[in-house]
Every structure is written in structure tokens, then in C-alpha cells.
Chains A and B, each alone.
Chain A
Amino acid sequence: MQVWTKLFAKSPFKPLIKHAEVVIQTVETLERALRAWYEGDYEKMKKLAVEVDRLEDVADRIKEEIRDSLSSRLMMAVAREDVLIYLHMQDKVADAAEDTAKWLLIKRPRAIPLEIKEIVLNMGTESIKAAKLVYEAIVQMDRVIESGFSESEIEKEYKIIHEIEGVESRIDGLDTELMRTVFEREDELTWGDGTYILNVARTLSNISDKAKDAAERIRLMMNK
């Protein structure tokens, strides 16, 4: 009676976690690229930025696979729409990292003041922290289901989500500081440099934005 083998479908959570792992690799590689950029090692940065692009492709492929396997014929602990939207959000985190990589590659920057570089690096680190927390959040979500939606596990999940949301305000502060600094020192920079810096920063803070959206979807998964 093969019914037993067909009755239980594969749960989407293991593949979701796998996808999250690739997303983490993408942002971590970007972090290394950013460090190389900070240190002025352009060649190393280029290699790493290309790798970011490759990893983002891998994430895309896993996303497609999960989408295809999640038919509407499944009865799940969480709604299928929630899972699909979450997956979309989680993938956006990798997309955002790829955007930053694109901007990093667009030109070989001239000497940028160290002060500015430092703020950008800080923003990158903070933002990527949020992306890493998304991985923890989806692993914790798996545990929430494992425990039959127990209050204490949901509590832990909320903690992670709050942390992700907390990154947002810190990034906002850095963002303002960076804009101010860039315009204060506009005499030292060309118009191109300014555009370049502000866009790298914008795409970096976008990573944490996307991480926050993903966390928001996890919140929805739990409140059913």
C-alpha cells in the first residue's frame, strides 16, 4: 500500500532553509567584497562581486524548484500563499546583495575619503547582519512547527524578528550621516564619486529592508 508514501508530501521548510543558506552565502560574499573595497583591493573585490552574482543565480534556481513543488494540493501547517510570498521576499534579499555588487563593479573608484568608506562599511555590516538573522528566523520557524506552535517557540521567533527590525533604525542613522558627510566634503569628490557612493549605500540598506519584509511574512505565518 504505497498510500503512505504518497500521503505525506515533502514539506517546503527544508528547501526553504536550503534557499536561506544560499542567500546567506550571497550576502557573506558581498560582505567580503565590501571589505576588499574598503581596503582598496579592487581585483579581489571584482572576483568576489562576480561570485555574488553567481550565488544569486543559484538562489533563483532553488526558488524555482520550491515553487514548482508547492502545488495547491497540499495541506500544510502554514498557508501555501504565505510560504510562496515569504520565499519571494527571501529571494529579494539575495537580489539586493547582487544590486550592491553591480554598483561596486560599475567603476574603479578614485580615492574616497576614509571617513566615508568607514560609514559605508558599517552600513554594509549592519545590513548584512539583518540578512543573516533571516536565516535564523526560518530555522526557528521550522522549530515552531515542530513544537506544534508552542508559545515559547513563537516567543523566540518574535525576538529574532524584533532584532531584524532593530537593524532598520541603526541603518537609518548611518544613512543620514553618510549623506551629510558626502555633501560636506563634496569639494573632494566628483559628481560621479558622489553618485557611486550614495548608490552603494542605498543598495546596502536595501538588503536590510528586504530582510525586514521577509521577517514580516514569518510573523504572518505564525498568526493563523
Chain B
Amino acid sequence: MDPWLLVTIAVGFSMAWAIGANDAANSMSTAVGAKAITPKQAVVIAGVLEFTGAYFFGKSVTETIRKGIIDPAKIADPNVLIYGSVAALLAATLWLVIATKFGLPVSTTHSIIGGIVGYGIVYAGASIVNWTRMTQVVLSWILSPIIGAIIAYLVFKTFTKSIFERRDPVRSARIWSPFWIGLAFVVIGTMFYMKVLHGKDLRVGIVHYGIPVGIVIFAITYFLVRLRFPSSDPFIGVEAIFKKAQVITSGYVALAHGANDVANAIGPVAAVYAVATMGMTGMKVPVPRWILAMGGLGIAVGVATYGYRVMETVGKKITELTNTRGFTIDFSAATVVLVASWLGLPISTTHVVVGAVIGVGLARGVKAINKDIVRDIIISWFVTVPVAAVISAIIFEVLMFVG
């Protein structure tokens, strides 16, 4: 076994751990905050589903360079790729740990992109960077929260109009709750096809996965609600219905997150593995299953060790988030992520979710949002790539000098 490969695996594992620690709260926060699940349950669900997503649905062929942000053909020396991968992973991990310490919701995808860009520029100058890609990434920072906010605003307005603004809220809740939950499952089914099975054709996803799943869920929910409406008070009843729906939506977010983001940690590892076993590497390399397992395990361990603490604070602090609000946020975010994947935009779930929260706030649906935190969040988004790049560049220089 190549000693560098061992080092990379270790660093890759720590990156996976940081992803789990940092993003655990994302998928589960609305469910825990709205008291749909306890922090303990959240950790178990997130851990299991993140691992399942990563191991069973993570891409078996992975990009060595995330999102083709730099051109690997310009790297002639395989050692550079090894040092660079280690530098990028270390830098991204460090930045994630720092951000987590300060409670900033930074994107793991963007951290690793920053890391890769950092060593790329040091090695071959700015021309190695695929600037069109980079522009798309920067655009996604600006667009994804805004679109998330707009969609959540509209969904929340339509949602309340369809249920609470009727003459007989209980009756409309009976019809409309299953409709909204079914619609969410159309999105979930389609997302499953695209993000988890890595399908390419949106139409196939909607027709073969989304709509059938949505109809089945609609039917089940409709009959359950018909049988026994949880309460004579429409509010309490509707909240109770969506409490159950939230468990599934948040679980789904965890699964998709594992399937999608595990590549951030294992892409560079796979690159080094390819160098160690085959001597050189291209844009895409096959990933052995054990590396996927390692990534999934790392994420699960991150969720279990650090994520638990985060969930506990979330559970204690967010009491103001109701189940319908949580559902609206999850549903809107999932929809935006789906559309973005279809368009091939490098979008960050974190950013969309935060945008969605703000959107519901603008629709007068959230009782109080902290504006300061929103400002911090936006700042942290803009500094992620440069900071990760600078850290990565320094580590890369040191490794080149030593190596």
C-alpha cells in the first residue's frame, strides 16, 4: 500500500467526518426543530440514511476533480495530483471545522472546490481553472438562496390559502394535506431517480418515479386522513398530519445528501487511488466500493459524534418552527435542488434551505428570524471558496517543498 494513499484515505475520512458533522443539522433541523423527531432519532435516521446514500447510491465512477473546476489534463506530474488532493481535502476539512466552530453554514461542496482551485492556481496559474464553471458556482451562491426564498414564499402562500383560508378548514385540510404531501413525494421520487440512482432524464424521473410515488402516497394519506382526522381543531390536525410527513421528507434529504456529497470527500481519494494503482488518472475514475464505504462511514461517524450535539441545541432552541412551516421549507428546498440538478448547476442544499427559511419569513410565516445570522450566513458563503483556496495553496506549497 502506497504511504501517500494511506495519508489520503485518512484525510478523506476526516473530510467525510466534517461533512457529517457540518451538514447533519441541515437535513434534520426542520424536523427536530418542529418536534417531529427527537435529536436521538434524528442522529440515528441521519446516520443510517447518509451511509445508505453514500454506499449504495454514491457514484461508483467519480470525478477526480469536483465539477471539473480545474483541468486535470494540465497536470503532468502524478505527484502533483497526490499532493494537491491531500492539500484540498485538508484545507476543506480545516475550513469546515472552523466554520462549524463559529456556527456558519458553509457548503461542503464549495469548500472542496476552493481547495482544488487553490492548489491548481499555485501549480499552473489561473489558466488551469475552468472559469465558466467557476462563474456558475458564484452565480449559484447568489441565485440558489434567492430562488429558494421565492419558491418557499409562493409555496407557503398557496399552502395557507388552500387549507387555512377556507370556510371549513378541516374539510379543506382533508383534501389538501394529502395533495401537498403527494406533491412532495413527486419531487422526492424524481429526486431519488436523479440524485440517488444518478439518472439523467428528468422526464423519465417524473413519469416513472415521481408521479407514481406521488399518487400512491396521496391515496394512502387521503384514506388515513379520511379514517381519522387527528383533531377537531384544523390547526392542530394539520400540524399532526405534517409532523408525520416531515419525518420522511427530512430522511429523504439525508439520503440524497449522502449520495451526493460523499463525492466531495472521496473524489480526491479516488484520484490518488488511481495514481497509486494505475500510475495516472483522467477526469473520471472507477471507485472501489470500500472507499465509498469509508466515505459513508465517515459521514455517519460525523453525524453521531458531532451532529448529535448540534441536533440537541436545535431541538432545544427552535421551538417556533411549526410542522407545516418545516414541511414547506423542506419541500421548497428539495424542489429547487431538483431543478438545479436537472440544469446541471452546482447548487448547495444548505444555501437553498436558508433561502427557503427567509422566504417563509417574508411571507409572514415565521414568527422571528435573526437578521444578524442571515448576514453572517451570506458573508460565510462568499468567503468559503477563497479561504479554502488559500489554505489549500499553503499546504500544497509545503507538501511540494517537503516532497
Contacts and interface: CB of A to CB of B under 8 A. Distances in A.
A73 B105 contact: no
A210 to B, nearest CB: 26
Nearest to A3: B105
Given A1-B23, A152-B164, A74 B310 contact: no
Interface in B154-187: 156-157, 159-161, 164-167, 169
Given A74-B371, A151-B165, A8 B321 contact: yes
B365 interface: yes
A1 B100 contact: yes
B354 interface: yes
Contacts of B318: 4-5, 8
A220 interface: no
Interface string A111-132: 0000000000000000000000
Interface residues of A, number: 30
Contacts of A179: none
Interface string A60-77: 000000000000011111
A208 to B, nearest CB: 29
Contacts of A146: 235, 322
Interface stretch (B77-85, B356-364, B383-391): B356-364
A152 B165 contact: yes
Contacts of B164: 147-148, 150, 152-153
A75 B22 contact: no
A8 B370 contact: yes
A4 B157 CA distance: 23
Interface string B331-359: 00000000000000000000000100110
A143 B235 CA distance: 9
Nearest to A152: B165
Contacts of B373: 3, 6-7
Contacts, number: 127
B313 interface: yes
Contacts of A3: 25, 103-105, 354, 373, 376-377
B228 interface: no
Contacts of B22: 1
B374 interface: yes
Interface stretch (A10-18, A93-101, A166-174): A10-18
B235 A148 contact: no
B301 interface: no
B103 A8 contact: no
Contacts of B104: 1, 3
B240 to A, nearest CB: 14
A158 interface: no
A108 B373 CA distance: 59
Contact of A8 (B33, B156, B165, B376): B33
Given A1-B25, A148-B164, A77 B370 contact: no
A132 to B, nearest CB: 22
A58 B98 CA distance: 44
18 contacts: A3-B103, A3-B105, A3-B377, A4-B310, A5-B316, A5-B318, A6-B103, A8-B321, A8-B366, A9-B368, A10-B319, A12-B367, A74-B368, A76-B368, A76-B369, A77-B361, A147-B235, A152-B166
Interface of A: 1-13, 73-78, 143, 145-153, 224
Given A8-B33, A9-B370, 12 more contacts: A3-B376, A4-B317, A4-B318, A5-B313, A8-B369, A10-B368, A147-B160, A147-B164, A147-B165, A147-B235, A148-B365, A150-B165
